Amino acid sequence: MSVAPPAPASATRIVENAENAESVLNGGNAGSPPKKRRPGPYENAPRLPLASEMERVDLRTVVTGAWTELEVGPGPKAGFLVERAEAAPEAALLGLEIRKKWAAVGDARLAKLGHAARARVLCEDARLALPRLGPDGSVKRAFLHFPDPWWKKRHTKRLVMGDVFLNEVSRLLEPGGELYVQTDVEERAELYAGVVSQHPAFEPAGDEAGSPRLADNPYQARSPREHRAIADGLPVYRFRWTKRR
C-alpha cells in the first residue's frame, strides 16, 4: 500500500499560520483553539481565502491592478487606502487589519467608492497573514503608518517591526520595491530605523544618499493619524527603504 509523502515544512507553516490567524482573530492565543463567545456584528469581516496545503494565497486573486501595494494596519475607515486609490488609479491595494470592525468598515468604504475590484481591507493579523501570501516578488510597495500603538515596556514583544516581519516583506517585495514607514514617536522612529537598516535585504532610499529619512510623504495619500499629527503641529518621522536588486 502506497503512503502519501509528508507535506514540506514550508507548507506546514502556511497551514499553521492560517489556523493561528483564525484562533487569534477569534479571541484565542496562537496555537490554541478559539474561545467560545457570542457572535458580534462584524463576524463576517472579509478574510483571506483559504489555500491548499501546498500553496500560498495569490495576491492577484484578491486584488487586481497594474501593480500591488500593501498596507499593514489601515485602521478605522482605511483613510490612506482611500486616498491612495484616488492618487494611483492603476494600483491594486490590499490592507491587512487585525480589528474586525475596522476591516469591515474600511473594505465597505472602498467598495462604496467603486474600488472593490482593486482595493480591499481584510481582517488578518499581518504577522500570521504575510507568510501565507504570494507569489514572491509581487508587491511594489509596503506601507506601515504609525504602527505599534503600545508604549509600555512589557508590550515590546507585540511590536510588528522585527526580523520575522521584514523577512516576509522582503520576500513579497519586487527587486527595488519600497518599504515606507512613518511614526510620530521619536523613540520608535529610531528603533525602526535601526532594525531595518540592519536587515540585509534593504537599502536606504531617503532624500539624501545613504539615509532612509524623508522630509515629506511622497505618495499623495495620508493616514488619518498623519493628518492629525500635521494639524496638531507634531513632527512626523518618515523613512523609505528599497529591496536590494
Domains of the chain: 9-33+40-243 (3.40.50.150)
Which of 58, 107, 136, 148 is the catalytic position? 148
Which residue is associated with the grid cell 477569534? 26
CB-facing half-sphere around the CA of 48: CA atoms within 13 A: 31
Catalytic (active site) residue 148: yes
pLDDT (tens digit, 0 to 9) for every residue of the chain, 245 residues total?
444 444 444 544 554 555 555 554 555 555 566 566 666 777 889 999 876 656 899 999 999 999 999 999 999 999 999 999 999 999 999 999 999 999 999 999 999 999 999 999 999 999 999 999 999 999 999 999 987 555 555 545 667 788 999 999 999 999 999 999 999 989 889 989 999 999 999 999 999 999 999 999 999 999 999 999 999 999 999 999 999 99
CA distances for 138 relative to 57, 58, 67, 70, 193, angstroms: 12, 9, 8, 10, 24
Q: Quick one: cell of 87?
A: 492618487
